[in-house]
Structure formats: C-alpha cells, structure tokens
C-alpha cells in the first residue's frame, strides 16, 4: 500500500526528518545542490533544491523524475534555512500539508530509505499526463 499523503515521515526512532525523491544515484555524505537540472525536465537549472517531510511526496518525486533508472528516496538534512515550497503551498493546498520545502543551500544525504512502496502504475501515468499537459501549456511543474 502506498504511503498516506500528508503524514509526516519519521525515522525508526520516531524522529521527524526530511526526504528527497529522485532517480539520481547518490551516496551518504553527498550534497544535493541547486543549479542542476530539475527532476522534471525543466530546461533551465533550478535555483532551489526541493524536499519534503512526507513519504508520499518523496515517493512522487522518485516516481516522476525523468529517466529510466529506478527511483530513490534519500533521507536529507538541510544545511541552511529553508522555506515552504510556494509551488504547492497555498497554490494547490491550503497551508503546507505536504510539508514541501525548498532551499538555495545544499541538502546533505544522510541515507537512503528502502524499501518503499510506490503508487499504483495507473496513478503514476495519470500524474505524468497532467505534468505533460502543464508543460504543453507553458506551465512547467516547478517555476523558480
């Protein structure tokens, strides 16, 4: 069963933390930095790195990222202050129930979460189709 939306992720000891879903293969200690291409194919480098406090949002990131590689969900640590992701906060959901954030500073990779359960393939395809419609209309998924 896929993760429940809007439920905060906690580690095995019950401590809250942050996650980043992607297809990129990273190692513990690596820094995930702004200035790289987005997971979603936005042509210009992203000015931010995005992360979440929910497993559901991280799962979507791992599933929807471009590429044929399997998705990865990393446990991350912000290295500097961060803000709510305005692409989701109040635009798509009132407040920040998805616990989606962004930062201009790197995220440190603390570990990889596995195993994790993905969404139903039909849901993933429907979400990809929605992203494609936005891009065709000139509304990329993550405007900086």
For 84, list phi and psi in degrees, rounded to 5.
Answer: -60, 145
Q: Which residue has the tokens 């798509």?
A: 92
Tokens of 65: 């990222």
Three-state SS for 68-115 is CCCCEEEEEEECCCCEECCCCECCCECCCCCCEEEECCCEEEEEEECC
The pLDDT, as a whole number, for residue 41 is 59
Q: Note whether 128 and 63 are within 8 A (CB).
A: no
The pLDDT, as a whole number, for residue 37 is 65
The pLDDT, as a whole number, for residue 132 is 82
Count of positions (residues) in the chain: 144
The pLDDT, as a whole number, for residue 4 is 73
Range 18-136 classified under CATH 3.20.170.40: yes
Query: Measured between alpha carbons, how far is 54 from 137 in angstroms, rounded to an integer?
Result: 29
Tell me which residues of the chain have a pLDDT lower than 70: 1-2, 37-44, 89-93, 139-144
**Among 16, 6, 105, residue whose Cα is nearest residue 60:** 6
**What are the domain boundaries of the chain?**
18-136
The pLDDT, as a whole number, for residue 1 is 61
Residues 124-144: tens digit of each pLDDT: 999 889 888 877 887 665 555
């Amino acid at each position: 069963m896929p993760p429940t939306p809007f439920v905060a992720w906690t580690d095995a000891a019950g401590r809250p933390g942050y996650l980043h879903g992607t297809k990129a293969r990273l190692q513990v200690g690596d820094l995930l930095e702004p200035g790289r291409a987005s997971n979603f194919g936005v042509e210009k480098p992203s000015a931010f790195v995005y992360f979440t406090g929910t497993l559901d949002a991280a799962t979507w990131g791992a599933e929807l990222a471009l590429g044929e590689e399997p998705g990865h969900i990393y446990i991350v640590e912000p290295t500097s202050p961060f803000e709510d992701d305005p692409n989701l906060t109040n635009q798509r959901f009132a407040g920040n129930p998805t616990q989606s954030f962004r930062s201009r500073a790197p995220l440190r990779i603390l570990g990889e979460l596995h195993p994790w359960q993905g969404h139903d393939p039909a849901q993933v395809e429907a979400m990809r189709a929605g992203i494609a419609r936005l891009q065709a209309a000139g509304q990329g998924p993550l405007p900086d």
